């Protein structure tokens, strides 16, 4: 029996269709909830059936297992957006491209750095997505989530979300919560200037990312200069970029370790952007994991730096 037929996409749905890397076996059940009530119903039913629940946004930062997921994949498809002067409320299922485009076209400043950032508002908050000197936390006022144990709403001001480099309280404390919506505080700006900034971010991504192949963005976090040995930091000082603080790009280290273009099965370390692993030919999650391990090891041996994963690994 299906969980809740009216909003369900299905049982045994292939998760490769729900990851930008196009890898992943079947989910026991997958529900797309269009309202908070539907979300609560699906989560409560899963709890009664003792099924684990995984919250999925746009699938742009996730590696599923070849064996799939033995539980409920729950997609909060909450796509409302309300713009009241500089205050913007967006459901967690809103695509970042939609949020950025809608605010920039009204001359609202604060999210233009996110031009071309894939994924949803929920996913961006979960991982405190950032690029070109901006981070999602910078323009956030409040996040509202649903606790999947008590089924109570939680309101957190941005300052209470423990945001850090590619992390938040939802990620670092593995909270059993679904982000429902967020309130952003933007400022009035020049529409033309903001559009140019958004477009230049989009164009930069098109020129430098291997978008022609399935991928899930940067596999590894860039390396904080403050977190490594002073001699190593000196060795790599010419590669350091400040975004949002002094970092050594993981791509630089992967290249230096000779791993650009390394391949396992159908998975390839992109020669165009070595921090991306692309699916060039029916790659499996096993191929990707093996390649991630190889890159981690080679970078450690050749560069003395231990890379940390940025993507969510469910394999």
Ligand X SMILES: Cc1cc2nc3c(=O)[nH]c(=O)nc-3n(C[C@H](O)[C@H](O)[C@H](O)COP(=O)(O)OP(=O)(O)OC[C@H]3O[C@@H](n4cnc5c(N)ncnc54)[C@H](O)[C@@H]3O)c2cc1C
Binding mask 8-47 for ligand X (x = CB under 6 A): ------------x---------------------------
Rounded Cα gap, residues 304 and 160, in angstroms: 35
Q: Does 76 bind ligand X (CB under 6 A)?
A: yes
Q: Which of 129, 198, 233, 250 binds ligand X (CB under 6 A)?
A: 129
Q: Does 117 bind ligand X (CB under 6 A)?
A: yes
How far apart, in Å, are the Cα atoms of 87 and each of 63, 110, 114, 144, 191? 34, 11, 18, 15, 17
Q: Does 209 bind ligand X (CB under 6 A)?
A: yes
Q: Which of 182, 184, 312, 315 binds ligand X (CB under 6 A)?
A: 312
Burial class for 222, CB neighbours closer than 10 Å (0-12, 13-18, 19+): buried
Question: Does residue 284 carry a catalytic annotation?
Answer: no
Question: Does residue 166 carry a catalytic annotation?
Answer: yes
Q: Does 217 bind ligand X (CB under 6 A)?
A: yes
Q: Which is nearer to ligand X, 100 or 233 (CB)?
A: 100
Classify strands 26-33 and 69-76 as parallel, antiparallel or unpaired: parallel
Q: Which residues touch 159 (CB under 8 Å, ≥6 apart)?
A: none
DSSP string, 210-251: -TTS---SBSBPPEEGGGS-HHHHHHTGGG-EESSSEEE-HH
Give, as one character, the DSSP assignment of residue 120.
Answer: B
Question: Does residue 310 carry a catalytic annotation?
Answer: yes
Cα–Cα nearest to 27, from 56, 7, 61, 58: 56
Q: Does 283 bind ligand X (CB under 6 A)?
A: no
Q: Does 92 bind ligand X (CB under 6 A)?
A: yes
Minimum distance of ligand X from residue 43's CB (angstroms): 12
Q: Which is nearer to ligand X, 148 or 225 (CB)?
A: 148
Please pick, among 19, 218, 270, 284, the residue that the annotation labels catalytic: 218
Q: Which is nearer to ligand X, 137 or 298 (CB)?
A: 137
Size of the site for ligand X (CB under 6 A): 32
Rounded Cα gap, residues 151 and 310, in angstroms: 29
Rounded Cα gap, residues 259 and 225, in angstroms: 22
Q: Which is nearer to ligand X, 256 or 312 (CB)?
A: 312
Chain residues that interact with ligand X, rule: CB under 6 A: 20, 55-62, 76, 92, 117-120, 122-124, 126-127, 129-131, 170, 178-179, 209, 211, 215-217, 312
User: So which residues are the catalytic ones?
Assistant: 166, 218, 310
């Amino acid at each position: 029996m299906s969980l809740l037929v009216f909003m369900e996409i299905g049982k045994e749905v292939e998760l490769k269709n729900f990851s930008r890397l196009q890898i992943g076996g079947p989910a026991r059940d997958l529900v797309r909830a269009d309202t908070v009530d539907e979300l609560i119903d699906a989560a409560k039913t899963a709890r009664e059936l003792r099924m684990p629940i995984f919250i999925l946004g746009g699938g742009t930062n996730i590696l599923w297992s070849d064996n799939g997921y033995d539980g409920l994949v729950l997609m909060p498809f909450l796509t409302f957006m309300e713009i009241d002067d500089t205050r913007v409320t967006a459901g967690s299922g809103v695509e970042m491209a939609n949020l950025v485009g809608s605010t920039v076209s009204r001359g609202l400043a604060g999210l233009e750095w996110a031009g071309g950032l894939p994924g949803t508002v929920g996913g961006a908050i979960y991982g405190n997505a950032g690029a070109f000197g901006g981070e999602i936390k910078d323009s956030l006022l409040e996040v509202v989530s649903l606790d999947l144990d008590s089924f109570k709403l939680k309101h957190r001001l941005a300052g209470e979300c423990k945001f850090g480099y590619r992390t938040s309280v939802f990620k670092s404390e593995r909270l059993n919560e679904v982000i429902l919506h967020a309130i952003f505080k933007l400022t009035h700006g020049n529409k033309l200037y903001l559009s140019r900034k958004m477009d230049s971010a989009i164009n930069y991504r098109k020129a430098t990312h291997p978008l022609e192949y399935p991928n899930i963005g940067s596999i590894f976090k860039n390396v904080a200069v403050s977190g490594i040995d002073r001699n190593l930091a000196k060795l790599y000082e010419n590669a350091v970029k400040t975004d949002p603080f002094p970092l050594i790009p993981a791509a630089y280290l992967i290249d230096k370790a000779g791993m650009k273009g390394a391949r396992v099965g159908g998975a390839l370390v992109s020669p165009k952007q070595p921090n991306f692993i692309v699916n060039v030919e029916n790659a499996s999650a096993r191929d990707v994991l093996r390649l991630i391990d190889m890159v981690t090891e080679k970078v450690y041996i050749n560069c003395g730096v231990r890379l940390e994963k940025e993507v969510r690994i469910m394999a």
